[in-house]
Amino acid sequence: MKRQGILEELRVRGVRLTPQRLLILNAVAEGEGHLGVDEVFRQAKQSYPYMDIATVYRTLHLFKRLGVVTEVAIGDRLHFEIRDPDRRHHHMVCAKCGGAYDLAPDYLDGFREALMKEFSFEPDLDNFTVTGVCANCNAGPSDSPQG
């Protein structure tokens, strides 16, 4: 599906398609949610043991520059996910369990408009993440899930 479209776009843009890049793209694409650099690395390395962490960094940066992936700041580390303009969303990250959930963009429409209207501040909500405590962790406060 969209994997093909991405490859096509890369080709059109004159970006060389190396096995490493394909593996990294796959890793990010498979990893649904969003993967940290090291997760992408490990994943890609499974198919190609010579994979180098530097290549992962360079490729991820390349992909980001090309608009193929999106950076999501989770905690103090960057995560990456395939950028799909039709499925834009934000993220809720639980500070307790580390879980990350997608959030429909319209929850922030009002906020965005307010910022633009009031401050002429154009928020970049693509990389937007709210930290907090998720339903599960709120219900069962860490140690005793049910007693």
What residues from 74 to 133 belong to the interface with DNA (CB under 7 A)? Answer: 77-78
What's the order of all strands across the beta sheet hosting 77-82?
35-36, 77-82, 69-74
Residues between 15 and 54 with contacts to DNA, criterion CB under 7 A: 15-21, 37-38, 48, 50-54
Report the residue number, 25 or 82, with the smaller CB distance to DNA: 25
Residue 17 contacts which entry, its own copies, DNA, none (Cβ below 5-8 A, type-dependent): DNA
Q: Are 127 and 71 in contact (CB under 8 A)?
A: yes
Q: Which is nearer to its own copies, 16 or 117 (CB)?
A: 117
- Give how many residues touch DNA by CB under 7 A: 24
Q: Is residue 79 within 8 Å of residue 71, measured between CB atoms?
A: yes
Nearer to DNA by C-beta: 57 or 107?
57
73 contributes a contact to DNA by CB under 7 A: no
d(CA 51, CA 39): 13
Minimum distance of its own copies from residue 115's CB (angstroms): 7
Please give the Cα distance from 112 to 95 (Å, whole number): 24
- The separation between CA 100 and the C-alpha centre of its own chain, rounded to angstroms, equals 10
Q: How far apart are CA 120 and CA 93, in angstroms?
A: 28
Which residues of this chain interact with DNA, rule CB under 7 A?
Answer: 11, 15-21, 37-38, 48, 50-55, 57-59, 61-62, 77-78
